[in-house]
């Protein structure tokens, strides 16, 4: 019969490289109509990074996402970037883009200040305007200012910047040091049904509460979490590269290497934990990799809760779970290790 269980797992995960420098650089060019172009060396690998980076640039310049065009992934035109790895794009590239946009914005402030009769430090960029802080009615359109900067003052609003997360090397003997600038935290709770006659595990529901600092785009955070959970399910229950005795891979195809499909996906409920990291762009950290981290642990704890067997080697295939259930039934007293 099917037995239901629940399991919880939490985790921590760092953003960026372990100690090693992993800088990003960026250029932001404000066009004469107040729209802007961002140059970045990162590559969109499907996670929506360019959308998030556009939002960061837009926020700094006080314009909308659609006012940004982002040019990426070409070593001829874009500044260097350590790339789409280590959950670092929002945090590191985001900081570089924010700093570059800020430099461009300060040029706009210098140009707008005499027109508005205030000091540049009294200005802010909001809602496509350069306006006096606390006096939003005293303003100029950002396009008007950008045009003036370039065509009248001869000072085009272009900013370039780079950023590298601060770290401290680890002691080789004790490992003491500051290997990362920041970390994120998360918990996932899984509910499963385990068929104690077949060993089959069905994941029914996963609740995921993830910290990513400020969610620059909550929809993309949810997408990352759902995708990470699908990888976590495959890691927990199905996927395994198998080798023969001569070291040749025996299942190098999607017929025999079983991975989750949409039919295997449980109901997923996502919560974004409120958090703000002062070192990230607008308080953001990252979310890419951690989404796949606690899933397997939560599922295996739920399997243990359901049928009382501890699977210690992944993946927990039906055969492995059934063998463990049988061993438990037979009253085996020996400790269950890899089956």
Partner 1 sequence: MPDTFETKKQEKTVVTDVPREAGVDLRLPAVVPAVPYPIETLVPQVNQQTPAVGQRVTRPDGRMHGLGQTKYIDDMSFPGMLHAKIKRAGIASARIVRIDTSAAEAMPGVMAVVTGRDIPVNSFGPSYQDQPVLADERVFHAGDGVAAVAALTEQIALDALEKVKVEYEPLPAVFDPVEALQESSHKVHGTDTNVYAKKTIRKGDVERGFAQADHVFENRFSTQMVEHVSLEPHAAIADWDANGRVTIWCTIGRITLARGDMARTLKHPMSRIRMVGTVVGGNFGGKNEITQEPVLALLSKKTGRPVKGVYSRGEEFTSTTTRHPIIMDYKTGVTKDGKIIARKVRLVLDGGAYCSWSETTLGKAAILSAGPYNIENLDVEAYVVYTNKTMTGAMRGFGAPQVCFAYESHMDDIAKALGIDPLEIRLRNAFGEGSASPTGQVLHSVVVKESLLKAAERFGWKEGRS
Question: Residue 232: which of 263, 194, 254, 264 has the closest Cα?
Answer: 264
- How many other β-carbons are positioned within 10 Å of the β-carbon of residue 255? 6
Near partner 1 by CB under 8 A: residue from 106, 141, 162, 323: 141
Of 122 and 217, which has the nearer Cβ to partner 1? 217
Of 154 and 337, which has the nearer Cβ to partner 1? 337
Residues 23-62 that bind partner 1 (CB under 8 A): 33-35, 41-48, 50-51, 54-56, 58-59, 62
Which residue stretch of 99-107, 156-164, 312-320, 321-329 sits at the interface with partner 1 (rule: CB under 8 A)?
Answer: 312-320
What is the C-alpha to C-alpha distance for residues 266 and 230, in angstroms, rounded to an integer?
A: 9
What is the C-alpha to C-alpha distance for residues 88 and 24, in angstroms, rounded to an integer?
A: 10
Of 119 and 241, which has the nearer Cβ to partner 1? 241
Task: Tell me the β-bridge partners of 123.
Answer: 132
Which residue stretch of 103-111, 156-164, 217-225, 326-334 sits at the interface with partner 1 (rule: CB under 8 A)?
Answer: 217-225
Of 8 and 118, which has the nearer Cβ to partner 1? 8
What is the C-alpha to C-alpha distance for residues 210 and 334, in angstroms, rounded to an integer?
A: 38
Minimum distance from residue 233 beta carbon to partner 1 (Å): 11
Minimum distance from residue 301 beta carbon to partner 1 (Å): 5
Tell me, yes or no, if 289 is annotated catalytic: yes
From residue 134, give the alpha-carbon distance in Å to each of 62, 125, 264. Answer: 15, 12, 53
Q: Which residue has the tokens 């035109």?
A: 77
Minimum distance from residue 289 beta carbon to partner 1 (Å): 5
Minimum distance from residue 224 beta carbon to partner 1 (Å): 10
Grouping H, G, I as helix, E, B as strand and the rest as coil, residue 7 is strand
What is the C-alpha to C-alpha distance for residues 246 and 87, in angstroms, rounded to an integer?
A: 36
Near partner 1 by CB under 8 A: residue from 1, 152, 263, 338: 338
Of 97 and 119, which has the nearer Cβ to partner 1? 97
Total residues belonging to the chain: 339
What is the C-alpha to C-alpha distance for residues 77 and 74, in angstroms, rounded to an integer?
A: 6
Name the active-site residue from 60, 289, 319, 330: 289
What is the C-alpha to C-alpha distance for residues 220 and 215, in angstroms, rounded to an integer?
A: 9
Asked whether 94 and 23 are in contact (CB, 8 A), the reply is no
Question: Residue 9: which of 272, 300, 265 has the closest Cα?
Answer: 300
Which residue stretch of 105-113, 115-123, 195-203, 273-281 sits at the interface with partner 1 (rule: CB under 8 A)?
Answer: 273-281
Of 114 and 166, which has the nearer Cβ to partner 1? 166
Residues 159-188 that bind partner 1 (CB under 8 A): 170, 172-180, 182-183, 185-188
Give the contact letters, 76-115, x = binds to partner 1 (CB under 8 A), - = no.
x---xxxxxxx-----------------------------
Of 22 and 159, which has the nearer Cβ to partner 1? 22
Tell me if 13 contacts partner 1 by CB under 8 A.
yes
What is the C-alpha to C-alpha distance for residues 58 and 200, in angstroms, rounded to an integer?
A: 49
Tell me if 208 contacts partner 1 by CB under 8 A.
yes
- How many other β-carbons are positioned within 10 Å of the β-carbon of residue 239? 17
Near partner 1 by CB under 8 A: residue from 114, 166, 198, 269: 269
Provide CB contacts within 8 A for 308, sequence distance 6+.
328
**Phi, psi angles (nearest 5°) of residue 285:** -115, -95
Residues designated as active site: 289
């Amino acid at each position: 019969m099917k037995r239901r269980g629940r399991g919880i797992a939490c985790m921590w995960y760092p953003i960026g490289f372990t100690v090693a420098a992993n800088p990003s650089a960026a250029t932001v060019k404000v066009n004469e109509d107040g729209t802007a172009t961002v140059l970045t060396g990162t590559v969109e690998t499907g996670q929506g990074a360019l959308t998030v980076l556009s939002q960061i640039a837009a926020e700094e310049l006080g314009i909308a996402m659609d006012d940004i065009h982002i040019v990426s992934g070409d070593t001829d035109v874009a500044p260097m970037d350590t790339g789409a790895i280590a959950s670092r794009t929002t945090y590191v590239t985001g900081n570089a883009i924010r700093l570059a946009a800020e430099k461009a914005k300060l040029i706009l402030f210098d140009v707008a200040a005499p027109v508005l009769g205030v000091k540049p430090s009294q200005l802010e960029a909001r809602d496509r305007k350069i306006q006096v802080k606390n006096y939003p009615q005293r303003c100029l359109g950002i396009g008007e200012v950008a045009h003036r900067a370039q065509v009248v003052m001869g000072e085009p609003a272009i900013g370039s910047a780079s950023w590298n997360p601060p770290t401290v090397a680890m002691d080789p003997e004790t490992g003491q040091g500051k290997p990362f600038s920041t970390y994120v935290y998360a918990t996932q709770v899984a509910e499963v049904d385990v068929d104690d006659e077949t060993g089959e595990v069905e994941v029914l529901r996963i609740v995921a509460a993830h910290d990513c600092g400020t969610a620059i785009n909550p929809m993309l955070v949810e997408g990352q979490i759902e995708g990470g959970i699908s990888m976590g399910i495959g890691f927990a229950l199905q996927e395994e590269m198998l080798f023969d005795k001569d070291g040749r891979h025996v299942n190098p195809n999607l017929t025999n290497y079983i991975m989750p499909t949409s039919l295997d996906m449980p109901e997923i409920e996502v919560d974004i934990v409120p958090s703000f990291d002062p070192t990230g762009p607008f308080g953001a950290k990252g979310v890419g990799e951690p989404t796949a981290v606690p899933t397997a642990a939560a599922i295996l704890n739920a399997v243990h809760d359901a049928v009382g067997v501890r699977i210690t080697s992944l993946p927990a295939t039906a055969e492995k779970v059934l063998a463990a259930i049988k061993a438990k039934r037979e009253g085996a007293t020996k400790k269950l290790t890899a089956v």
